[in-house]
């Protein structure tokens, strides 16, 4: 059943040009310092920071405003142990396999099948994409609801999640073991949810290092027409 269109006033804060630029440059500098890390400290992190980041992710635009995402925050040591065991099994098959071209592309990042971060970081945020929804309208069985632009919507939400965690002074990693179906089973997710990404969150371990990489220059990624 279609929901009636109901407009509401849009409240917008118009900033002075110098304040616009100041905020823009401050955010840019914060994001320039963002790096994916693989060596996490087990130091506790305030759960309020995680909640706020998920709230920020939940403000993302989505196809038909269907908000097709679920954020599962995992702290239970046994559940994390199981996730790590399954992820390392999948990753080991990959790294010991024959995907030579992919292995070559990853070589400069220094990665391997060991995934200590899955049990060391104080939080794992496992993001699920809802391939369809359910409508509960009093029938014996809920009706399926088609979702639109699911991957695009969840991708935008994950971007906001990472930005919010970084703004809150935390370090992250985007981890996508392949295949990822085991995550739905371990976390007991419903059949309309598919794993999208695993994000360990916390503080860097003492002596943490990252690959010496660079980002593409502005003139390589910006086209002005």
Q: Structural domain boundaries of the chain?
A: 44-136+148-221
For the range 134-142, what are the long-range contacts, defined as Cβ-Cβ under 8 Å and sequence gap of 24 or more?
A: 134/192, 137/1
User: Which DSSP helix (H) or strand (E) runs through 77?
Assistant: helix 77-95
pLDDT at 94: 84
Token code pair at residue 52: 């706020």
Q: CATH for 44-136+148-221?
A: 3.40.109.10
By three-state DSSP, how is residue 67 classified? coil
Per DSSP, the chain holds a count of helices (H) and strands (E) of 8, 6
**Do residues 73 and 198 make contact, with C-beta atoms less than 8 angstroms apart?**
no
- For residue 97, give the nearest of 176, 37, 178 by alpha carbon: 178
pLDDT at 1: 64
pLDDT at 29: 98
Angle at 208 between CA 202 and CA 209, to 5 degrees: 125
pLDDT at 35: 97
- For residue 114, give the nearest of 197, 41, 39 by alpha carbon: 39
Contacts of 41 (CB under 8 A, 6+ apart): 120, 202, 203, 204, 205, 206
pTM: 0.94
Question: Other C-beta atoms within 10 Å of 123: how many?
Answer: 22
pLDDT at 102: 79
- For residue 200, give the nearest of 167, 155, 165 by alpha carbon: 165
**Rg value, the chain, Cα:** 20
By three-state DSSP, how is residue 201 classified? strand
| Chain center to CA of 134 | 24
| Chain center to CA of 214 | 21
pLDDT at 127: 98
Token code pair at residue 204: 């860097």
Classify each residue of 199-208 as buried b or exposed e, where b means 16 or more C-beta atoms within 10 Å of its C-beta: bbbbbbbeee
List per-block mean pLDDT (blocks of 10 residues) for the chain, which spans 225 residues.
88 97 98 97 98 98 97 98 96 83 86 94 98 83 93 98 98 93 97 97 97 96 98
């Amino acid at each position: 059943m279609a929901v009636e269109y109901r407009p509401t006033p849009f409240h917008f804060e118009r900033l002075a040009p110098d304040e616009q630029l100041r905020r823009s440059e401050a955010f840019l500098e914060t994001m320039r310092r963002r790096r994916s890390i693989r060596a996490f400290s087990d130091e506790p992190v305030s759960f309020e920071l995680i909640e706020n980041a998920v709230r920020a992710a939940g403000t993302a635009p989505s196809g038909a405003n269907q908000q097709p995402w679920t954020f599962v925050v995992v702290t239970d040591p046994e559940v994390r142990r199981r996730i790590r065991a399954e992820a390392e099994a999948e990753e080991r098959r990959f790294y010991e396999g024959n995907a030579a071209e992919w292995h070559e592309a990853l070589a400069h990042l220094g990665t391997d099948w060991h995934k200590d971060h899955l049990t060391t970081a104080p939080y794992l945020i496992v993001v699920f994409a809802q391939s369809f929804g359910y409508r509960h309208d009093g029938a014996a069985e809920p009706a399926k609801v088609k979702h639109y632009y699911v991957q695009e919507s969840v991708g935008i939400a994950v971007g906001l999640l990472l930005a919010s965690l970084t703004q809150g002074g935390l370090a992250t990693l985007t981890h996508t073991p392949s295949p990822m179906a085991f995550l739905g089973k371990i976390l007991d997710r419903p059949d309309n949810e598919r794993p999208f990404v695993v994000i360990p969150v916390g503080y860097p371990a003492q002596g943490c290092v990252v690959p010496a990489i660079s980002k593409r220059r502005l003139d390589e990624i910006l086209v002005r027409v």
